[in-house]
Structure 1
Amino acid sequence: MQSEILVLGSTGSIGYAFTENLLRKNIPVSIIVRDVAKAKNLFKDFDNVEIIKGDAQDLNLLKQVAADKKYIFHGINYPYDQWFGNMDVVTAKIIEAASLNQAMIVFPGNVYNYGKTPLIKEDSPEHPCTRKGALRVELKKMLKDAAHTGKCKVLDVCLPDFWGPNVLNAGIKPIFINAINGNALPYSVRVDIPHQMVFTKDAAEMIVRLMQRGVKQPYENYNYGGQVHPTMKGFLNQISRSADAPEKITVYPKWLFTVLGIFMPVMKEVKEMLYLFEGTVILDDSKVRSIFPTFKETPLQEAITETLDWFKENELGK
């Protein structure tokens, strides 16, 4: 069966969950990856995935693979200190590739472009308060303009912080590794306020449902917020208990990132985003919940156990 879907960023956090969701539904997928061995390991249980070695920045390869695709999942991401000159450039190339077949670009967005807006709706004005937020505004405009000029269709799904299997960023991976090893769980700035997070498998299911439903307008955007945890302390302690670890948390203060930023450029970029940990930002996802009224998140305990098991097997070899 010929694949209609090209996934870029399939070995990353959201891209992995999205790809796995489709493969479990026996929907064939094509992926372009730089690390073929990593991809083969991640998707070793499936035979309906076409793995193509390459880089999404290779426009000729991108156009060659995308020429007959109906959907292109844009899950490409870079370390914070490499965003500029990469995220904008690769997005322009993905748009060009999608224009060959007027494909739908499926784009997992984030809250950066809204700044400190406490409650974000689909039509909330964009008020970025960081450089990376301003870049997200630019990326969104690129996608909107491409859709409205007939080059492609765009499904933009805005997500909060995410966690789950294969989420290996510096904010999430140490939490699960430390829990497994019986150590204190690290978190930044505050653990005593509500924080919205989404389990990647839930995000993937919602995005797949929206993709399969299709778009009536050239550009459509939706929020999906997952779950609001009353406090991160409660969420982190539940992870510790699930791993039979002591309920201990190490909270990194804001000033620490200032010091680390002197030696590590990426920490300057992390510091810029700490406003998301100082206050509560909530995505209003009533729109998608009205479209899919029976949609239910994975029970929290089940999601935590599955994530711990994934890290034990894939990161610690236990």
Structure 2
Amino acid sequence: GIYVYGHQSAIGDENHPKLPHTKKGKIRLQFENLIFDSNKWKKAKPLIVRLPDYFGPSSQNSYLQPTINGVLNDKNTIFIGNLKTPREYIYLPDAAKMIVNIAEKDDAYGENWNIPGGNPISGKEIIQLARKITQYKKAIIPLNKTMIFLMGIFNPFMREITEMMYITKDGFILNNQKYKDRVGPIIKTDFEQALNETLSHNGKNKV
């Protein structure tokens, strides 16, 4: 995830400053330092791959999941974050392929790697596509930080999201140049197709 970068509005490459200001971000940075500690791991060949927000047939605790679940169940539902801010999302099958491509490179180890998503897209555009695909007509309510905090009193998933809401407001894009230069073309399924496949798969296994 991108939590290690903290509250920075930018397009970040693998060398972007890591300035976490949240509990989750600080823990992620501690994990990263541990993973790359050569004194602890004499024979291991570690690497870290970093993803933006994700969605897909196997997704469970993504920011988009409550919206997807509501659409599939034809109920009024929520969207986590600002509807106007374009954000980067990655389709999990695309991410899996790119992770494998990185892992197959002998010189990829000991480094951070960005797994880039598709073109940034706003919540409003996502909702329009979901309605187009499913003919869903119920209300989708955008949740701000205060509303998330109140819901978190009763819902552990929402409680965890509260301190991360800055991401949904400002957005942060992962630079993909390193992947393109050293691995190959970015794998990027069209967002509408990816959302259609996600809704279709999850619809067969309704929540």
Fold conserved between structures, TM > 0.5: yes
Work out whether residues 240 and 247 of structure 1, in 8 Å CA contact, stay in contact via their aligned partners in 2: no
For the residue of structure 2 that corresponds to 1:302, the secondary structure is helix
Residue 291 of structure 1: which of 178, 182, 204 is its match? 182
- The structure with higher relative contact order (CA 8 Å, sep 6+) is 2
1:180 aligned partner, one-letter code? L
Gaps of 5+ in 2: none
Match in the other structure for 1:204: 96
> How far apart, in 2, do the equivalents of 1:179 and 1:260 lie?
20
Q: Do structure 1's residue 167 and structure 2's residue 62 form an aligned pair?
A: no
For the residue of structure 2 that corresponds to 1:228, the secondary structure is coil
Q: Do structure 1's residue 280 and structure 2's residue 151 form an aligned pair?
A: no
> Which structure carries more strand by proportion?
1
Q: How does 1:131-210 map to 2 (within 5 A)?
A: 131-146=23-38, 149-169=41-61, 171-210=63-102
The 1:148–1:227 alpha-carbon spacing in structure 2 relative to 1, beyond 3 Å, is farther
> How far apart, in 2, do the equivalents of 1:214 and 1:309 lie?
37
Q: CA RMSD in A?
A: 2.2
Match in the other structure for 1:44: none
2:63 aligned partner, one-letter code? G
Match in the other structure for 2:148: 257
Q: Could you state the TM-score of these two structures normalised by the residue count of structure 2? A: 0.89
Structure exhibiting the larger radius of gyration computed from Cα positions: 1
> How far apart, in 2, do the equivalents of 1:139 and 1:244 lie?
43
Alpha-carbon offset, residue 200 of structure 1: 0.3
For the residue of structure 2 that corresponds to 1:138, the secondary structure is helix
Gaps of 5+ in 1: 1-109
* 1:88-143 superposed Cα distances (whole Å, 9 cap, x missing partner): xxxxxxxxxxxxxxxxxxxxxx1111102222210112100101100000000000
Q: How does 1:1-318 map to 2 (within 5 A)?
A: 110-118=1-9, 119-146=11-38, 149-169=41-61, 171-215=63-107, 218-246=109-137, 248-264=139-155, 266-315=157-206
For the residue of structure 2 that corresponds to 1:250, the secondary structure is strand
The 1:267–1:126 alpha-carbon spacing in structure 2 relative to 1, beyond 3 Å, is same
For the residue of structure 1 that corresponds to 2:107, the secondary structure is coil
Work out whether residues 229 and 235 of structure 1, in 8 Å CA contact, stay in contact via their aligned partners in 2: no
Alpha-carbon offset, residue 263 of structure 1: 4.2
Work out whether residues 81 and 143 of structure 2, in 8 Å CA contact, stay in contact via their aligned partners in 1: yes
> How far apart, in 1, do the equivalents of 2:26 and 2:113 lie?
20
For the residue of structure 2 that corresponds to 1:140, the secondary structure is helix
Work out whether residues 185 and 249 of structure 1, in 8 Å CA contact, stay in contact via their aligned partners in 2: yes
> How far apart, in 2, do the equivalents of 1:299 and 1:166 lie?
18
Q: Could you state the TM-score of these two structures normalised by the residue count of structure 1? A: 0.59
Q: How many residues align?
A: 206
Identity of aligned residues (%): 27
The 1:186–1:261 alpha-carbon spacing in structure 2 relative to 1, beyond 3 Å, is closer
